[in-house]
């Protein structure tokens, strides 16, 4: 199925999300998945199409520039002009669609992290109660997320190095689980982007961009004290009313901007449940 077909099948809200790249909803988990699954499918197809369109667009520019003179020379400007116009039109259409797929591109966190996590937890989340979900699907290195940029400095063979730091608190969610547990999580990426420029022996300037991403994952689980006893929990536990609130944090460092593995969050939540035992009723209760 083409990306255009999938785009046409989206409802206005889904199309707006792809353009705004922001989701902020209070809905049941099934409704959230109904909203996000088509977006994930559209994004996957758009990613594939964008690569092909980008290559075709670049090729079309070259063919148009050099082919126009060759065609005009062979056929003359009158007949050749028609072919040149056709080449220009083709290049324009390819360019338009390439830019359009860039415009509707959202972070892969949606299809490679959020949708898998919600699919796995779907039956654990109480479908009768709304979950709150806020997700920023814009690029983690968008200008608005930049915290600081260093002055250019030299390092080794690189005569110009610029470090930029970005802060991207891209997701927070709260949900009530079927066993009465309150689950919430928050994910923040801190990104260091290093642009290094060197001059090679042939006198050409080459620039490399490297990333280091530190993901802070904070999970909070409020388990009902009457349902669960917690034993050997390797985390902060605080009693708040009728709940034992467990807070856990994990930091994951990667050398790329690839999405976080859903397993990181699933492990953290499962770790708390491993420590939970059905609560012992007091004698006589």
Partner 1 sequence: MTCEARKGFLTLSDCQNPAATQCSNCARSMCPAHLAPQSGFTMCFDCAAANANMQPGENDELWAHRYRDDYRTSTGYVPIYTSRHHYYDSQDTRSFDQRGSDALMDDDDRGGFGDS
Residues that bind partner 1 (CB under 8 A): 37, 40-41, 44, 111, 115-116, 119-124, 177-179, 263, 266-267, 269-270, 273-274, 276-281
> Which CB sits closer to partner 1, 149 or 258?
258
Task: Return d(Cα 201, Cα 19) in angstroms, integer.
Answer: 44
Closest to 69 in 3D by CA, of 56, 81, 60: 81
- Residue 141: CA atoms inside 13 Å, Cβ hemisphere, count? 17
Between 10 and 84, whose beta carbon lies closer to partner 1?
10
Q: Which CB sits closer to partner 1, 252 or 266?
A: 266
- Least distance (Å) between residue 223 CB and partner 1: 11
Q: What is the smallest separation between the CB atom of 195 and partner 1, expressed in angstroms?
A: 35
Neighbour count for residue 93 (Cβ, 10 Å): 14
Give the residue with the Cβ less far from partner 1, 45 or 60: 45
Q: In the bound complex, what is the minimum distance in angstroms from residue 184's beta carbon to partner 1?
A: 14
7 versus 97: smaller Cβ distance to partner 1: 7
Min dist. Cβ of residue 281 to partner 1 (A): 5
First to last CA, the chain: 60
In the complex with partner 1, the residue whose CB is nearer, 163 or 267, is: 267
Decide: 246 and 200 in contact? Cβ < 8 Å.
Answer: no
How many Å separate Cα 88 from the centre of its chain? Answer: 35
Closest distance to partner 1 from the beta carbon of 14 (Å): 16
The neighbouring-strand residues paired with 237 are 246
Nearest of 273, 281, 264 to residue 244 by alpha carbon: 273
Instruction: Compare residues 36 and 257 and give the one whose CB is closer to partner 1.
Output: 36
**Residues 103, 107, 111, 112, CA torsion sign:** positive
Considering the complex, what minimum distance in angstroms separates the CB of residue 134 from partner 1?
Answer: 20
Q: Which residues contact 105 (CB under 8 A, 6 or more apart)?
A: 43, 46, 47, 50
Number of neighbours of residue 222 by Cβ within 10 angstroms: 21
Smallest gap from residue 177 Cβ to partner 1 (A): 7
Strand 146-149 to 22-27 pairing: unpaired
Q: Which residues pair with 72 in a beta bridge?
A: none
- Choose between 253 and 285: whose C-beta lies nearer to partner 1: 285
Helix or strand or coil: residue 176? strand
Q: What share of the chain is helix, strand, coil (3-state, %, to 5)?
A: 40, 35, 20
Shortest reach from residue 283's CB to partner 1, in Å: 8
């Amino acid at each position: 199925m083409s990306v255009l077909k999938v785009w046409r099948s989206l409802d206005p809200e889904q199309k707006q999300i792809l353009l705004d790249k922001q989701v902020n909803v209070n809905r049941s988990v099934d409704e959230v998945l109904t909203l996000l699954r088509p977006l994930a499918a559209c994004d996957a197809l758009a990613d594939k199409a964008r690569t092909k369109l980008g290559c075709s667009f670049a090729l079309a520019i070259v063919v148009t520039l050099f082919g126009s003179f060759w065609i005009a020379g062979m056929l003359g400007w009158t007949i050749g002009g028609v072919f040149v116009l056709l080449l220009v039109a083709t290049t324009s259409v390819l360019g338009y669609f390439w830019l359009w797929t860039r415009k509707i591109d959202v972070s892969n966190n949606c299809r490679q992290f959020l949708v898998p996590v919600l699919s796995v937890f779907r039956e654990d989340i109480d479908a009768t109660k709304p979950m709150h979900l806020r997700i920023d699907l814009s690029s983690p290195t968008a200008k608005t997320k930049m915290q600081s940029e260093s002055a250019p400095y030299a390092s080794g063979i690189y005569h110009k190095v610029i470090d930029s730091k970005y802060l991207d608190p891209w997701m927070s969610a709260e949900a009530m689980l079927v066993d009465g547990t309150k689950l919430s999580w928050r994910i923040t990426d801190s990104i260091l982007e290093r642009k290094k420029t060197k001059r090679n022996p042939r006198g050409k300037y080459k620039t490399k961009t490297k990333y280091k991403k530190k993901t802070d994952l904070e999970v909070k689980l409020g388990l009902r004290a009457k349902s669960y006893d917690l034993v050997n929990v390797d985390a902060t536990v605080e009693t708040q009313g009728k709940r034992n609130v467990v807070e856990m944090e994990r930091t994951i460092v990667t050398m790329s901007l690839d999405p976080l593995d859903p397993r990181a969050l699933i492990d953290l939540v499962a770790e708390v449940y491993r420590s939970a035992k059905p609560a012992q009723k007091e004698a006589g209760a």
